[in-house]
Structure 1
Amino acid sequence: MLTSTVCAAVSAAGLGIAALTAYRKRFLAATRIAAFSLIPVGLVMTGVIDWLTGIVFKPTVWAGFGVLALSAVLFVIGRAVERHRGIGGRKERKAAPESRTAAVAPAASAPSLGAGRTGAEVAAPPKAQGRSGAPKDDFSDIEAILKKHGI
């Protein structure tokens, strides 16, 4: 009942301002002010104001908002701890391909390895050593590529 009275007073004040604006020959502004001032009365007549006041002034509704806020806070804390510890994060995703032993299509990369070479040989080629025991600079594969392209 109080909200209906307040809305009616706000609308009456707005219509009074609209009348003064129209008296000053500013009809377009007066029309806009009148349109805005009729909104509170329209909301009271449709029952929206009673619905809103019923939500705002009920303690169970505020308790429900509190439970939702607590749920959101717990979710954020859980995600933060999960990322901090690395549970379900990038570390596990990076470790997953290493744990796989068989490739999906092992023959798919066989032509790129070259004739008679296996995947293990490509991953760790033996270092050629010179007479002094130091690794020899092996540019033979680079030379082969250059010769292949005619350079």
Structure 2
Amino acid sequence: MLAETICSAVSAAGLGIAALTAYRKRFLTAARITAYALVPIGLVLTGVVEWLTGIVFNPTVWIGFGLLALSWALFAATRAVERRRLGPSGEPARKKTKGGRAPEAVAPAASAPSLGAAGTGAQRDPAPGRKPAAAAPADDFSDIEAILKKHGI
């Protein structure tokens, strides 16, 4: 009942302001103010205000909103845990073994040809007309190895 009275008072005040604006010969502005002033009384007459006050002051409605918020929080939390379990490529993250190390590769010798085990370009004959490249010393990669060891790789 209080909300309907407040809406009626706001409409009456708006219509009064519109009348003063029309008296000053600002008819377009007065028509716009009249349109705004009729909205609250229209909401009262259609029952929207009563419906809204019934929702706002009803504790079961607020319990329902609380349950919806809890549901949303659970969805968000499970989604965050799911994303954390997945690796960067969207695949499940690999679990560590008992020793704290990652499991061994399925085919550890698969990259052996690229490491020089099965005849690399350095072991083949150079192209005709070119001079063979000088053999690189064994300690050429020692600085790289030191950097890798420093980072634990």
- Structure 1 82/26 Cα, relative in aligned 2: closer, same or farther at 3 Å? same
Moved over 6 A (4+): none
CA distance in 2, matches of 1:128, 1:83: 42
Deviations 1:105-146 (A, max 9, x none): xxxxxxxxxxxxxxxxxxx795357xxxx432788xxxxxxx
Question: 1:23 deviation in Å?
Answer: 0.8
Q: Distance in 2 between matches of 1:24 and 1:81?
A: 65
Distance 2:125 2:55 in 1: 80
1:51 aligns with 2:32: no
CA distance in 1, matches of 2:126, 2:31: 88
3-state SS of the aligned residue for 2:91? helix
Cα distance in 2, alignment partners of residues 36 and 137 from structure 1: 91
Identity %: 62
Partner SS state of residue 52, structure 2: helix
Q: Which runs of no fewer than 5 residues in structure 1 stay unpaired?
A: 96-123, 140-151
User: Which whole-Å CA distance do the structure 1 matches of 2:50 and 2:126 have between them?
Assistant: 86
SS at 1:92's partner residue? coil
- Alpha-carbon separation, structure 1, partners of 2:63 and 2:126: 74
Number of residue pairs aligned between Structure 1 and Structure 2: 108
How do 1:63-102 and structure 2 match up within 5 A? 63-86=63-86, 90-92=89-91
Establish whether residue 127 from structure 1 lines up as the match of residue 83 from structure 2: no
Question: 1:18 maps to what in 2?
Answer: 18
**What's the TM-score, normalizing by structure 1?**
0.62
> Structure 2 length as normaliser, TM-score?
0.61
Superposition RMSD in Å: 3.0
